């Protein structure tokens, strides 16, 4: 979502319908049992080649977990990744959350070519477990994701990340980018996730144009697309997240509310209560 500087009036929070959660309860147990580590396996994070097509295959990352499970790991931000984050300008003094409040989430996902890939995103520590539950459900249902690389690989450039069809989260955007950050910005606080931007574009109010492309701006069923009532929408809203919390279309975006504040997951998915599909 595009936060404060270009933000139209927000919409109200949609009601989350009842959802399933038995399988997700196992993930909560896994997290409690110790899948959180002290440093993240982030050595393979590299910027994509300049000429790389957004539709090109994603580089495989070595996975230490079985490829047919989501294999989620929550870790503190390593020294190496923090240096990259600061070097890319993704964080700087004045940003609302720092290293201690952020976590890296590494997990497996299904690619558009039907292969299991390994990716990572950076989020606020208070949404990390919720993010794992959401992406576990997407993995179980084989929802395709183009790529998942922390935004510093794109020098913090949201437009470049969207053109690459990259799924990302934390980004304390600089002045000159769409909706430069402020204290209440969901992305600057690490409490927003953008998924498959090419398949789920947003309407840029500065040019009244679709970004990164108008090709998939119609909300008809399609591979990797997010639809109200669909799988991705159900997985996030069951946790208390809000879809396109803005009065212009922003189909790629989920956040936990604006202005951003400490988050506690709500709903059946967060408690492990069995719910419907």
58 part of a folded domain: no
Place of tokens 């404060």: 4
pLDDT at position 28: 44
pLDDT at position 277: 31
Contact 255, 191 (CB under 8 A): yes
Phi/psi of residue 76, nearest 5 degrees: -65, 160
Contact 153, 47 (CB under 8 A): yes
Mean pLDDT of the chain: 81
Q: What range defines the domain where residue 86 resides? A: 4-42+65-270
Residue-by-residue pLDDT tens, the chain, 277 positions: 454 344 443 433 333 344 444 444 444 434 433 344 434 456 557 655 443 444 444 444 544 555 689 999 999 999 999 999 999 999 999 999 999 999 999 999 999 999 999 999 999 999 999 999 999 999 999 999 999 999 999 999 999 999 999 999 999 988 767 665 578 999 999 999 999 999 999 998 888 899 999 999 999 999 999 999 999 999 999 999 999 987 889 999 999 999 999 998 776 556 554 433 3
54 part of a folded domain: no
Question: How many Å apart are CA 169 and CA 102, to the nearest integer?
Answer: 11
150 part of a folded domain: yes
Distance of CA 30 to the CA centre of its chain: 21
Cβ-count burial of 102 within 10 angstroms (0-12 exposed, 13-18 middle, 19+ buried)?
buried
53 part of a folded domain: no
Q: What is the dihedral of CA 255, 258, 262, 266, to 10 degrees?
A: -60
59 part of a folded domain: no
pLDDT at position 51: 37
Cβ-count burial of 12 within 10 angstroms (0-12 exposed, 13-18 middle, 19+ buried)?
exposed
Count of domains observed in the chain:
1
50 part of a folded domain: no
pLDDT at position 66: 58
Question: How many Å apart are CA 34 and CA 56, to the nearest integer?
Answer: 35
pLDDT at position 26: 44
Task: Quick: pLDDT tens for 119-167.
Answer: 999 999 999 999 999 999 999 999 999 999 999 999 999 999 999 999 9
pTM for this model (two decimals): 0.77
């Amino acid at each position: 979502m595009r936060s404060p500087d270009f933000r139209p009036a927000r919409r109200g929070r949609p009601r989350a319908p009842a959802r399933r959660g038995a399988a997700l309860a196992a993930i909560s147990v896994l997290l409690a049992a110790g899948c959180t580590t002290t440093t993240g396996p982030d050595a393979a994070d590299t910027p994509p080649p300049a000429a790389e097509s957004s539709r090109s295959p994603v580089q495989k990352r070595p996975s230490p977990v079985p490829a047919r499970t989501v294999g989620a790991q929550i870790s503190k931000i390593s020294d190496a990744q923090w240096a990259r984050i600061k070097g890319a300008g993704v964080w700087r003094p004045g940003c609302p959350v720092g290293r201690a409040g952020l976590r890296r989430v590494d997990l497996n996902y299904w690619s558009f070519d039907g292969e299991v890939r390994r990716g990572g995103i950076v989020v606020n520590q208070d949404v990390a477990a919720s993010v794992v539950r959401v992406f576990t459900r997407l993995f179980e249902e084989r929802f395709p994701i183009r790529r998942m690389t922390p935004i510093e690989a794109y020098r913090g450039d949201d437009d470049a990340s969207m053109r690459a069809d990259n799924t990302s989260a934390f980004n304390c955007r600089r002045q000159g980018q769409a909706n430069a950050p402020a204290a209440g910005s969901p992305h600057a606080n690490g409490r927003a996730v953008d998924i498959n931007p090419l398949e789920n574009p947003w309407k840029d109010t500065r040019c009244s144009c679709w970004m990164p492309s108008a090709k998939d701006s119609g909300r008809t069923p399609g591979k990797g697309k997010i639809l109200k009532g669909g799988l991705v929408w159900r997985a996030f809203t069951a946790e208390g997240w809000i879809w396109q919390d803005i009065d212009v279309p922003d189909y790629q975006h989920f956040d936990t509310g604006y202005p951003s504040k400490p988050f506690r997951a709500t709903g059946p998915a967060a408690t492990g209560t069995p719910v419907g599909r």
